[in-house]
Structure 1
Amino acid sequence: MARRGFRSARAAGRPERPRLAGARFTRWVNGTLTPRGAGRSFGSQVRRRPPVRASPRIGRDAARPEGEAMPAPDRFNAAARADLLPELRACLDVPRWAERVCDARPYDSPGAVLAVADAAARELTPDEVGAALTAHPRIGERPAGAATTAAWSRAEQSGVDSEDAELRAALREGNAAYERRFGHVYLVCAAGRGGAELLAVLRSRMHHDPRTELRVVADELRKIALLRLGKVIG
């Protein structure tokens, strides 16, 4: 029951905004909580995704009372363009996407940043997908080094048990078969998922035709980009 003296968003005729945090934020990224009418465009003409009205809440904003404005991402807004673009390309190594997100500043909330990034990532071309894939290691292979992308990849694949020799061998074989079929590395948003699940996803995608699989890869790039962008926003 709503408190006396307050009107709910529905009663006021305003769209209700989801309160997203943790696992629910990952579901939003994965597309299960996107607004209705969100089109997935890749390599073909489809209806454009309508403006995003609901913004996800991340970090400390997840507990913010309904109706209270989220603070603007001040560091993100104030960063020099030359400094911010490399951080964005670590999220998704597509210059057009990074420039779109950077040049749309200032933003009034973290959710506004993510909404622009989400829309721009749904427009990846086949050439952009191919170029972006080169920044990602194979599933089961954790890159060494202190680079931001390497650290993020290691964290995202932390659910893959490196001590399971049988699983490692199966992933190597699966990666090789996938690359022979599609001509590029197997990519999946691995955050929060175990090695056995990632191997099962790989095997299920082997049945795709190349065009379908490229669309799937483009959407996985989008999911990874949004998760990483949340870290850049802070």
Structure 2
Amino acid sequence: MRDEEIHAVLRILRKEVQRWQDPVVGVVAKESGRDPFRILISCLLSLRTKDRTTAEASARLFALAADPATMLELPRQRIERTIYPVGFYRTKAKQIHEICRRLLDRYGGRVPDSIDELLTLPGVGRKTANLVVTVGYQKPGICVDVHVHRISNRWGYVRTNTPEQTEEALRKKLPRRYWITYNDLLVPFGQNLCLPVSPYCSRCKLTRYCERVGVAKSR
């Protein structure tokens, strides 16, 4: 993909993704009025977990507590039972407690709006930090998950080996006006059409722009 073609690609994707359900963190953001705390916790729950499971676990947990102070009052074992069966639910329950304690001790209960500060919180990596910054605070950032990493490379827009390298490459070449929405567009595209194995290339409206890097078989 030539650099200048990204404009046409994202314009097409913006129309295409309307057919598919929003990623779970996007749903939580809309329902909560972009509450950074609920975005942070739902993103943590979503790691290594399917969207439906994450959505159900998030709803159960936020029905009990929707702010750091109230969440910290919940026994860890109750958080574990509430978020089960998300992946690594025991570890995540512990991280949720530690995050809430740190938010209250260091930030007055407010979720920080900088990537560097978010990365100091237990269990928070660059994907989660960027998502909180972009979705929760509408500040520039590029959230790179497995879909964004895979598709950006499949297109030939970047040539990287890790999500961290992809984020760095995108920060250098992706026009800044697309930073916040890039993840929102590529995640549903990757979940529904541009699958990791055997993507639906015959249904895709981006084939003329895509180099199909690493695609051995398609439908």
Query: What interval of TM-score do these two structures reach, taking the shorter chain for normalisation?
Result: under 0.3
Structure-2-length-normalised TM-score = 0.26
Q: TM-score, normalised by structure 1?
A: 0.25
Structure number with higher helix proportion: 2
